[in-house]
Amino acid sequence: MMKRRKLTAARKALIWWFRAPANPYICVSFAVDSTAASGYLADLAQGHDVAVSINHLVTAIVGRVLREFPKANDRLARGRLVRRRACGLAMPVDLRVAGAAAAQETAMAVLEEADQLSLVQIAAGSRKVVDAERTGRSALGWVQWATRLIDRTPYPVLAPLLSGFDWLTRNSPLSDLLFGHLPGAAVTNVGAALAPQAGVLFRGASMEIPQRLMHVGTVWGVSVIQDEVIPVNGEPQVRPMLPVVLCFDHRLCDGVYASKMVQRFSEILLEPEREFGADGGAMAR
C-alpha cells in the first residue's frame, strides 16, 4: 500500500490553485564552484576502471538530496500526494550519435533507487542504461512498446487516444498501477556536452513541465562548466562554476524547502569526498 501524505491547508489550497492548465513549477538558477569537484573526479579517474563524469556526480548528488528531502519526490495523483517508495531518476538520452541502433531522436533512461547507490554505482548504472537505450535494448519494455505504437499511429488518431489515456490515469486508480514505480525527478545536461564558448556565460533557464501522464516533482538541469569571477575570502578570483537549474512543483513543497535543497546540493558539490568517500564508494547514510 502506498503511503499518502496528510494534506495541510496550504497543500490543499496550492493543489487547487495550481490545477491544470496553470503552471505549478518554479525555476531557481544558481552556480556552484566546481574546483573541488573537478579535482575529486580527477583523483577518482586514477583509481577506478569506471569513469565518473560531472554528470554522474550531479545525478548522485540529486539522489542524496531527494533522499534527505522526500517531499520533493512525492507523486500527485487524484488530488492526493503519494510518497514514492524510492527515488528513481529519469535522464534524456541523445540517440543521434554514431552507432545508435534506433532511428529516434531521443530516449529516456531510468536509474532506479538512485538515492541508495554510491557514486561509482551511479556511474556504472548510468552508462549501462544509456548504452542499452542507444543500442535499442531499453530496460523499460513498455517504453519500447509505446514508442513503436506512437511511431506507427497517425497523429490525428494518436492525439485523442493520448488525451483519453491521460484523463484515465489522472482520475482513476490506474495511475497507481502504471506510474507508482516511475521516477519522480529528472536530471538533464542541457549544454553540458558542449565546450565553453568564449564571451558567453550561461545564466539560467525556465521550464514549463506539462501536467500530463507521469507527474514529475523536480527537474535538475546543468550546463557546461564555465570560468567566472567570484569573491573568495573577500577577493575576486576566477573559478570554474557549474550552472544549475532546479525546477520544482510548488504543490509539493514551498520556496523554503526548495532553498534547503539548493543549499544541500551546493554543500555536497563543494565537498564531494565528504559525502561519497575518497573512492566514490560510500553508500547513502
Closest-CA residue to 87 (of 123, 52, 122, 55): 122
Question: Would you say residue 25 has pLDDT above 60?
Answer: yes
Report if residue 62 sits inside a domain.
yes
Which domain CATH number covers 100?
A: 3.30.559.10
Residue 190 resides in a domain? yes
Check residue 103 and give its pLDDT: 56
List the single range of 17-21, 98-102, 267-271 with lowest mean pLDDT: 98-102
Report CA 132 to chain centroid distance, whole Å.
19
Q: Is residue 282 part of a domain?
A: no
Is-above-0.85 flag for pTM? yes
* 20 band by pLDDT with thresholds 50, 70 and 90: confident
When divided into structural domains, the chain yields a total of: 1
Residue 96 within any structural domain of the chain: yes
Q: Per the domain annotation, does 114 fall within a domain?
A: yes
Instruction: Indicate the burial class of 114 (C-beta count within 10 angstroms; 0-12, 13-18, 19 or more).
Output: buried
- Angle among Cα 129, 131, 133 to the nearest 5 degrees reads 70
Beta-carbon contacts of residue 264 (< 8 Å; ≥ 6 apart): 64, 65, 68, 69
Percent of the chain with pLDDT over 70: 86
**What domain range includes position 215?**
25-194+210-276
Q: What is the reported pLDDT for 65? A: 96
* Whether the Cβ atoms of residue 84 and residue 184 lie closer than 8 Å to each other: yes
Q: How far is 226 from 29, CA to CA, in rounded Å? A: 15
Q: Give the pLDDT confidence score for residue 99 in this predicted structure.
A: 53
Name the residue with cell 489550497: 13
In a domain, 115, yes or no: yes
Question: Is 3 domain-assigned?
Answer: no
Q: Are 156 and 132 in contact (CB under 8 A)?
A: no
285 domain residue, yes or no: no
